[in-house]
Structure 1
């Protein structure tokens, strides 16, 4: 079975795909399409999975990823060795030779495109990167390549949903201190001193606040769909020794 990415009409004119765990060759706790070079998985399996992703979207292109560190930092795509990938959490490009990708396992993957000017971006927004502006930095980096903010669209892929994302009151306060209006992204928790965080809605809000007119969220919960997606939190709750990462990719049209 080969991987079949989730695609959205919003990015219809741009090669892209949100992948889950289906269609890969990894086994055990990483079973499926594990893309994580930092995971404790067989390296040959990871490389074959990465090859399958490229084949499914843009055969012949070079897949470009970064060493993700939950930062707001964005880089312009280039070819770098696996062990020399820049520490960043977003990538932009206007080069149709590249397929840029970011890895997630509950965090929010965001794909951006200015289809008219053929400039694309990809961001990994965990709570820390989302709060410190990784999506804003991605938009700014696209503008430096020539994109127009009001022409950029963004699609949010599979991520942990509010029902699955319990956080403590200190976490809620951190977001409230940044902006009191952020309280609306938290629902009452099932336990005292806790809340449920809607990180997908928060990222939609950040994108809209940044001036993007068209934003789409898939509403796919990584935690709740074990057969379809990898989930760091689910693996942690199950006491597993590691976890796989899925990839979301986009490229400039050829």
Structure 2
């Protein structure tokens, strides 16, 4: 059994590198988690989650999924071998080791996949607003460079993320963000008579460009706007329901 996934043009076709952005299509979960939920922390049946993870691993053909315990931090783990699922607290990981399927779970935050095909180094990062604002992107790139990558050779792809029309945040959020990035007011839009909305993928794109990476692609899909395709924490919260998590994967054969 396999599951459908999306790919980024700048990562597709790289020799020996596989990647995929999965949504909720496929899988065996039911109810609010219907489809391909991969999180054990949302109330889904653990057997269904294990089956979904196996489906994804089989689809990618890279071996077991390397899954972190994500905490909206700026911590990056460098993996030289397999880890037990959720055994490390971090929000990004990099490797130069073949056969490790680096996997990031999201349900509105930004999944970012990285590859330097010449150095044979790959990475994956979970960028919520706090992690992105505090430096998870730069830290991930620095960890790749420590393994021999070069920013100008790195290709990065942004997967499904909540978009600015659906990401209302309020004035306190805006103030907290601007305290970290005083020149970042252009990442906010305020509808007439409404509250500020934040452009998370736009900010992530800006951070990646500032790091000098060689290639960037944004799939442009909004998790909130397409609940039939993606899990969205905010969409579920607004409707008083629960939701799952989708996964983005990259690795080398």
TM-score, normalising length from structure 2? 0.95
1:140-197 per-residue CA deviation (whole Å, 9 max, x = no partner) reads: 11111111111111000001001110010111122222223211111113544x2111
Match of 1:40 in 2: 43
Contact 1:7 1:18 in 2 (8 A): yes
Match of 2:8 in 1: 8
Tell me by how many angstroms 1:213 deviates.
2.7
Tell me by how many angstroms 1:21 deviates.
0.3
Tell me by how many angstroms 1:37 deviates.
2.1
TM-score, normalising length from structure 1? 0.94
Tell me by how many angstroms 1:223 deviates.
0.4
Aligned residue runs from structure 1 range 1-254, under 5 A: 2-12=2-12, 13=14, 14-58=17-61, 61-77=63-79, 78-82=81-85, 85-189=87-191, 191-192=193-194, 194-240=195-241, 242-252=242-252, 254=253
Q: Which runs of 5+ in 1 are unaligned?
A: none
1:16-42 per-residue CA deviation (whole Å, 9 max, x = no partner) reads: 000000011000101000011222111
1:185-239 per-residue CA deviation (whole Å, 9 max, x = no partner) reads: 11113544x2111100000000111111311111100001011000000110010
3-state DSSP of counterpart to 1:159: coil
3-state DSSP of counterpart to 1:34: coil
Aligned length: 249
3-state DSSP of counterpart to 1:91: strand
CA RMSD, Structure 1 to Structure 2 (Å): 1.3
Contact 1:166 1:189 in 2 (8 A): no
